[in-house]
Every structure is written in structure tokens, then in C-alpha cells.
Chains A and B, each alone.
Chain A
Amino acid sequence: MSLETSSFFESPVKDASELPSAPALDASNFFGDPVEPTLKFRDNQDALTDATSPNTTAATPAPSDGWIVEDTDEPEDYVAPDGNMPEEDAINEPTEEPIHQPPVMARNFDGKLVVIRKKRKSARTVNRLCRSLDSFDHVQSVSISEPKDAISKLVTVQTHKIMEQLAKETAQRLDLESEPTTSTSKIKSLEVEETLWTDKYRPRHFTDLLGDERVHRDTMLWVKEWDACVFPEKMVGRRKKQAKEGEEILLLSGPPGLGKTTLAHVVARQAGYAVMEINASDARSGATIDERIRPVLEAGTKVGGSKPVLVVIDEIDGATGGGDNTIGFVQRLLSMTIDKPKKTRSRNQKDTRRPLLRPIICICNDLYAASLAKLRPVSRIVRFQPPAPVHLVKRLKEICEMEDLRADSRSLTALVGASQGDMRGCLNTLQLLKAKHSEITEPIVRRATMGMKESEGSFMDVLTDIFTPLSRSRVKDMGLTSEEEQKYVHRLNRSIESTGAVDKVALGSVSLRPDFKAYEKALRWLATYDHFTSGMWQDREYSITPYIGYSLIAFHPTFATKGGPKLERPKADWEAYQRQKTYEEVYRTLQRNVLGEPGIGGASKAAARYRHLVANGTLQLEFAPLLNRIISPPLKPVNKQVIKPEERLLMSRVVEIMVTLDLHFIQEKQEDGTLVYRLDPPIDAFVTYDEKRAADIAVSRYATRHLIAAEIDAQVIERQAEALEETSKSKASHFFGKSATVVTDDTGSSPVKGSHEREASSPLVASRKRKREEQEMDIADKSPVDFFGRLIAPTQIQADGSQGLVPTRPFKVTYKYTEGMSAAVRKPVKMISLLD
């Protein structure tokens, strides 16, 4: 039998014949219960008996959750609402039940009627049902006794709780057994470990601080600068309650363990502040500022405290969290410190937003972390340097004495050297060693500090390592034997890999190579490096990665020299990039000039014709180099008057080309006072390598350039005049009275910068100028102009004879509006000016 849909469950009782008969009943489909397959169908007789004894049906409760399949012929079979229902209910309700909860009927393949009733899903009920069906004879007794038995058999406490209980008991027992033997030692060790030595011997006062005193004073000074704002009552004779202006944040930077946090705390306490610390364990997102820091800063004190608060944000360079906004924290911090004072100032301090009233000290390890880029310019920066080892050793010795730890200076010096001045690291190591040993010796220290400070290292350090042999002290710090000292491959590879910037190291290796003695060898290694990296990036062969570092190690035996020049940050790649940008710009300018966009005269017409010259590649490889040769003709710097005819031809050709391409020689004064002519745009940069020019290009001398420059200027002016004459002719009749010559004169008097002197000095230009003026006069026959470009009417004036040079212009009235208030009326005016 298969019941396909739930519609069966809802359907009212139907005639048995209407129900489909199915060959098999997959009972578990209905119950979802593994017990179901044991369900058996009773024969008709059983069913009849079952019907006649209401007890049985009462004993097979089928609450409304699920369905119970029952084999019966009688549709009036019913379901008792609850399994614990007394029999009376079942007896009273046999006729009513089918109406409320109609059982679904079906037929099995024998034609027997199957009644499916709702049931509760519990396995217990089903179990019981099965049993009751199996042993029908005992139905009576089972139906009454079963529920109680089942419940009593079940464990009242859940299994996992029992297990827990047992485990606890066992543990207690074991504890009790072991206590008498181990308790004393345990307590002792606990006492020792209760406080870290770093906390125990942490400086409490300003004078206790170890290290560079100037750093401490700087910090204190900065904190004291806040006094005017924080402790206004103490300030005498000063403006009260003023917000600090500028450098509102102090940025302490330095390697870990030097006492930056300690310094911040000590200084704050000394200056009378309560410290509020936000460190790496806190969530440092933008929201933190709003939720925690801002309220405290605005309140000025901590909750329940009377001292003003000083916020210490530890390890701010790690404050990139917050997921979505990586620089949210720093950004928010800045907005709190910078934006606010400005706003209040503009709004005249009548605003809920207030300037930053309490100092903030930020502590970072890497001052140049990207997340701090915006913080750096607005904060006072205090850098920590590792204190002198002598001081550290002295302090460590004192501590060792206090802790009953025997240690000689030698071992302590080794410890300080290995930790590179990290006081916290030293103390932690000592405490660790104290737990095991009662005496500190150098080998112990060596073993304990193995691997200490290995993880850090910038690529500059690595470069230094590669290009300089290990110094004596460094060898001692690292505790290497002379044999180990010779083995550099692993050591260097470790440090190269630790930087995570192999490419930077490689770049540095290329640019920092101090000499070329072993050039070939180095070149081969670099080629290997190139090969590896290109293989890795192009073919995604990342398995090469571990080997890349080794190709750079070869520089160490090749180039490492003692007392070599101090290594500087490699900047060759940046310079190359800059130069590339500059040259690209020069090419672009040249391209524009050739195409004639801003060009003069006919150049713009040539745009299409010369386009092939400036195509990518052609411009750089063919056009520009040849152009450089063309504009450097073998001219002798002689006076223009005595120039040879063929040379004059050459020069005029050069000038023409240069004018067309908008190339100019610009006179400039060098630092030493000598004058030079610079080519603009500087396309000669492409034939100059390391201040040397290509051999086949004649050196352009000053005098030659001077000659050409003068010619170019003359040519340019001439062309401009021509172009303007063309336009002015067409415009001549425009704008009543405005004459064309005025326009010509305007532009004529604004030639190329600095060309005046040259014009005066070169007779050729002068003659050309004169010629141009003559030409102008020819054109301007109808309306001659005077020196200032005003129209002259000589005939009229002569006829009049009254006034010499009065310009006769048509009457024209213009009204010139004056902006602003009408103050003109208040001017005293003589009556005569009105009446006359």
C-alpha cells in the first residue's frame, strides 16, 4: 500500500471500496521509525475482537501527532486522545472519536481494510502497540501495567550528566589521593610564578626608568604641555582652559621590550593622570573610539575616578582590525583630534563637539606602518633606542641578586646582546631559567635565547647582513663558534625569508653592489634569480619559492667587505620610474607638437600627414633620435652677417623645422651664473647618457644655440603676425570703430618671453621686424596708426589745423556698471559739472 499525499490524512472516512489497494505497506514512511517493520497485520478476527473490547483500543493510544496503522475492517475504530487515559473515557467516547479524528482507511493487497490513525511519534507507544498486537492474549494486563514499567525502567538523569558526575567524583578521589604528596611543592611554585619579573621590577617612578633619558624627558615634556588644558587651576597668569594646539598625539615608537608602555604609564602617573589603556587585547575598530575612548575623553576622568585620564593606545600599528574598515581606527582617532578644534573655533565654542581635552599616547613598533601614515604628521614622535647594554646588565644583576640567582656579568651581557636590548625579554628569560637552574651561565643563556629575535628584521638589515661580514660583537651576541661563523648560507637564507620581501632584497643587491670586481659571478646569480622569479610568477611554479633566496646569498662571499660604504636604502627603481615618467611626458609633448594641437600656423593642418611619425614606437625609435640629429647642425657660431650662404640655408631649414615642431631654446641661468640654452621640450635628453652625448651628434654650443634661438623667435613672431593679419583682415569691419591694427599691436607686443634682448642684439631680427612693419603699413594704408596703435586721420587734422593729433573716432557711448554699493552719489560734485 502506498499513500501518496497528505490528502489522505485529511480526508473524511470514505467507503472502503474507494480506497486504492496497494501490495505493500512501507510503514516506516509514515512513522519515520525503525520499529515499524515489526508491525504486523492482524487478521479479520483479531480486528473484530479488538473492536469488541474497548480496553484494547484504549490501551493502544494514538495521540494526534502521527498515525498508527491498524488492520481492521471496522471504520468506527477510534483513537483515544491520550495514552494515560482511563478506560472510562475510552468507553464513553467510542462513537464521537471518529468524527473528530477520522482515521484514514486503506486496503492492503489482500483486500483487508487498513486503518491509519494518528499517533504520537514516541517509540515507546509504538513498541507497546507492537507488543500488544503480538501477544493479544495479554493485552489486558499489558495495557495497564506497561506505562508504569516503562517509566520506571528509564533513567531519570541524562546519560551525559551521569558521566560528568562520575568524572567529577573520580577526579576528586584522585585529588584526595595525591594531595598529601604534591601540594606543598605546587603552592611554592605558584607563589613564584604569581608575578612576572617584568611586572615585579617594572619601574615605578620616573627616576627608575632605564634607557635614554632624553626620550623620557621628551615624553614628559609633551605630557606637561597638556597642563594648560587639563589642570587649568594650576596655571597662573595664563589663559585658562585652552585646548592644546598641534601635536595632540604622542607616538612612541621602537622595538618591543624597551619599555614604551612602561614609560607611558610612569610618565602619566607622575604627571597626575589616570591611565586608560587600550591594547592589543581590545578590539580596536573605529567603533571602539566611539564607545570607549570618546566618552572617557569627554568626561575627562574615568568612571569613579577623580584624576584626569590619559589614554594609552598600545600597539596601534596593529590596529588595522575591524574587518571592513582597515584604517577605521586611526581615521576615527584623527577625526577626533583634528577636526574638532577647527569646528569649535569656527562655531565660537557654542557646540556640543569639543576639542580634544585629554592627552593620547600611541605606542607602536613600526613607525612606518601603513596604517600610521596619516597619524604621523599630526603627532609628536618619540623614538626609542635600545639602551646601552651596560645599564641593562647592571639592572639585571641587581634583579638577580634580589632573586637569589647567581649570574655573572658575562652571561648577562650575552643575554642582553641576544635580546638586543629587550629588557622584557631578558627578564622573562631569566625568570624562566630561574625555574630550572639556580645559576646562570653563558651556555644556559645561549640555549635559552636560541631563536630569540629571529623573526624580526627589515630588508635593510638583511642587505646589511649580506654585504657586510659579521661583526665581532654580533658573532658574540649570537654565540656562534668560529666554525658556525663561516657558515652563512642558512643564516642568510633564514633572514632573507623572514623579511618576506625577497624582491626588495634583490633590488637592493643590484643597486648596492659596491664594486664590480666579481661582476660576472654576481650577474650569473642575478640571472638565476631572474630565471627563478619569472618562472615562479609566469608559470605559477610556487614550489620554486624556497630556493629564490639562495640565489642572493652568493652576494655575501662575493661582496661582503669590512668597512665598506654605509648601505643606503635602494632608490634606483624609484628614480628609474620617475625618469620614465618624465621622458614619457617629453614624448607626449613632442607628439602633440608634431600633430600641431597647440601649434602655430600651418602645423595644425599637418596633423593627419604626420601622424605616422608619432605612432607608438616610431616616435621613440625613429623620429626623435633623427630629429635630435637634425636640430644639431654643424654650424659655426659666427655672426649672422658673415654666415656662409650654404650655412644660412642649413640654419633656416633647422629654424623652420624647430618652429614647426614648436621646439625652442630657452635661455636659463645656471647656478654658477653661466647662461645656457635649454631645449624645450627637452628631447635631447634621449641622446644624452650619463651627461655624454651620442658621438655622431654635434655638440650644440651656446653661441650656435643663441643664433638659432634668435632666428626661431623671429620666425615665430613673423608667423604669428601672418596668422593674425589673416584673422584681423576678416575682422576689420567688425565692432564699430574697432580697428584691426589695434589687435595686431596687442599681440605684437607680447612676444615670447625674454626675446626682447635678443631682438635688440640681432640685426637680422631687427631687419625682419622692420620688414614686417613695412608690410603692415602697406596693408594699413587705409587706416594708419600711431605708435600706440590708435588710428590717425592725417588729412582731416591737417585741414583743421586746430589740434595736432586728436583721434577722430565715431561717437560711442558705453555704460560701465560698478559693482557693489552705490557710493558714487555721495561724492561731492560741483554744480558746474552738472550744468555745464
Chain B
Amino acid sequence: MIIPVRLPSQVPSPDHALPPAVASIGFNELVLLELQGSIEIEGDYAGETIGMLDMSIESKPTLRIGHHLLEGKLTGLPKPLAVLKSNKTAEPDNEVSFDIVSIIRKKIVFSKRPSPVMDNVAKDELQEPSKRKRAA
């Protein structure tokens, strides 16, 4: 069985370049976040913000999750990853095909021990409805 994988259009339109879930957090390039650790979520997470990624300093991206401030670094992926989108339609006989939505070439590695931050500060900032993850 051959599954066709189509390259994305050369000039991706911001509208349909990414599926809605991905599109909300990025523009046309995706960046992988690599965490040494795990994110634990309690309660109803629908519509909630996990953390805040700060890329204002290019060399020192920071991620704030709860009371923790993680400091990471932007590195290239040794093997780029492609984000595929399946084109499965409702038609029964249609073969499955994938569109390459985006190619991930970079990742931000958070490997250091997180440093604790003040509770209220984190809370206030978490309340802000700003972009948490945005494309680099």
C-alpha cells in the first residue's frame, strides 16, 4: 500500500497551513520543546495555559510552568521532523494520504533544573491571555 505524502505548497497560506490545533500556537514553522521532566496537569485543562515561553532573548529562551522557571537553549534537530496531516475524508474508498504541514528543524531543550519563582508573579502572568507558544 502506497501512502502518498505531499509536500506543502511553496507559499503556505496562513489560513490552512496548519491544522487548527497547531495553527493556534504557530505561524508556519514549528519548534519542538524538549523537556527533561514531565508536565503534570490536574483538573480540567480545557482552554487553560500550560506555561509561558519567553523568547525575547534569542539565546536564552525561558519557559515558566507553575512555580518553575525553566531555562533552555535553541538547537537544531539532527534529523528534521515533518508534521503530517492526514487527508482522510469521509469517502469510503479514498486512499489515505498525508500532507506535510510543516518541518521541524529546531528544538528548544530545557535540560537544566528549574528554578523556583514567586507564586503570585507566576499566577499573574499566567492569567495573561498572551501567546504562550509562538514560533521562533
Residues of A within 8 A of B66 (CB): 812-815
Residues of B within 8 A of A818 (CB): 36-38
Contact A811 B39 (CB under 8 A): no
Residues of B within 8 A of A824 (CB): 35-38
Q: Does A822 contact B (CB under 8 A)?
A: yes
Residue of A nearest to B45 (CB): A811
Q: How far is the CA of A737 from the CA of B35 in the complex (A)?
A: 26
Q: How far is the CA of A719 from the CA of B45 in the complex (A)?
A: 40
- With A808-B44, A811-B45, A831-B84 already in contact, the answer to whether A817 and B37 are too (CB < 8 A) is yes
**A819: min CB distance to chain B, Å:** 8
Residues of A within 8 A of B51 (CB): 813, 815
Residue of B nearest to A812 (CB): B42
- Proximity string of chain A (793-836) to chain B, C-beta cutoff 8 Å, 1 when within and 0 when not: 00000000000000011111111111000101100000100011
Contact B34 A825 (CB under 8 A): yes
Binding site secondary structure of chain A? mixed
- With A808-B43, A810-B43, A835-B21 already in contact, the answer to whether A815 and B35 are too (CB < 8 A) is yes
Residues of A within 8 A of B83 (CB): 835
Contact B65 A814 (CB under 8 A): yes
Contact A815 B114 (CB under 8 A): yes
Residues of A within 8 A of B36 (CB): 817-818, 822, 824
Contact A815 B84 (CB under 8 A): no
- With A822-B36, A824-B36, A831-B84 already in contact, the answer to whether A813 and B114 are too (CB < 8 A) is no
Number of interface residues of A (CB under 8 A): 18
Contact B84 A813 (CB under 8 A): no
Q: Does B41 contact A (CB under 8 A)?
A: yes
Contact A813 B40 (CB under 8 A): yes
Residues of A within 8 A of B42 (CB): 737, 809-814
Number of interface residues of B (CB under 8 A): 29
Residues of B within 8 A of A831 (CB): 84
Residue of A nearest to B109 (CB): A822
Residue of B nearest to A831 (CB): B84
- Proximity string of chain B (37-58) to chain A, C-beta cutoff 8 Å, 1 when within and 0 when not: 1111111110010110000000
- With A822-B36, A835-B21 already in contact, the answer to whether A815 and B43 are too (CB < 8 A) is no
- Proximity string of chain B (15-47) to chain A, C-beta cutoff 8 Å, 1 when within and 0 when not: 000010110000000000011111111111100
Q: How far is the CA of A836 from the CA of B70 in the complex (A)?
A: 25
Residues of B within 8 A of A816 (CB): 37-40
Q: How far is the CA of A635 from the CA of B46 in the complex (A)?
A: 65
Residue of B nearest to A823 (CB): B36
Q: Which of B19, B48, B68 contacts A815 (CB 8 A)?
A: B68
Residue of A nearest to B40 (CB): A814
**B115: min CB distance to chain A, Å:** 10
- With A812-B66, A831-B84 already in contact, the answer to whether A817 and B113 are too (CB < 8 A) is yes
Contact A815 B111 (CB under 8 A): no
Q: Which of A810, A813, A836 contacts B39 (CB 8 A)?
A: A813
Q: How far is the CA of A813 from the CA of B70 in the complex (A)?
A: 14
Residues of A within 8 A of B84 (CB): 831
Residues of B within 8 A of A817 (CB): 36-37, 68, 113-114
Q: How far is the CA of A824 from the CA of B65 in the complex (A)?
A: 19
- With A818-B37, A822-B36, A835-B22 already in contact, the answer to whether A813 and B65 are too (CB < 8 A) is yes
Q: Which of A808, A810, A813, A835 contacts B19 (CB 8 A)?
A: A835
- Proximity string of chain B (68-80) to chain A, C-beta cutoff 8 Å, 1 when within and 0 when not: 1010000000000
- Proximity string of chain A (770-813) to chain B, C-beta cutoff 8 Å, 1 when within and 0 when not: 00000000000000000000000000000000000000111111
- With A809-B42, A835-B22 already in contact, the answer to whether A815 and B70 are too (CB < 8 A) is yes
Central interface residue in A812, A814, A815, A831, by most chain B CB within 10 Å: A815
**B92: min CB distance to chain A, Å:** 22
Residues of B within 8 A of A737 (CB): 42-43
Task: Write 18 A-B pairs (CB below 8 A) sorted by A numbering.
Answer: A808-B43, A809-B42, A810-B43, A811-B41, A811-B42, A812-B42, A812-B43, A813-B48, A814-B66, A815-B35, A815-B37, A815-B66, A815-B68, A816-B38, A818-B37, A822-B34, A825-B34, A831-B84
Q: Assuming A815-B39, A815-B114, A817-B37, what are 13 further A-B pairs, CB within 8 angstroms?
A: A808-B44, A811-B41, A811-B45, A812-B41, A813-B50, A814-B67, A814-B68, A815-B35, A816-B38, A822-B34, A822-B109, A831-B84, A835-B83
Among all A-B residue pairs, the 8 with the closest Cβ atoms: A809-B43, A815-B65, A817-B37, A811-B43, A822-B36, A812-B42, A811-B48, A815-B68
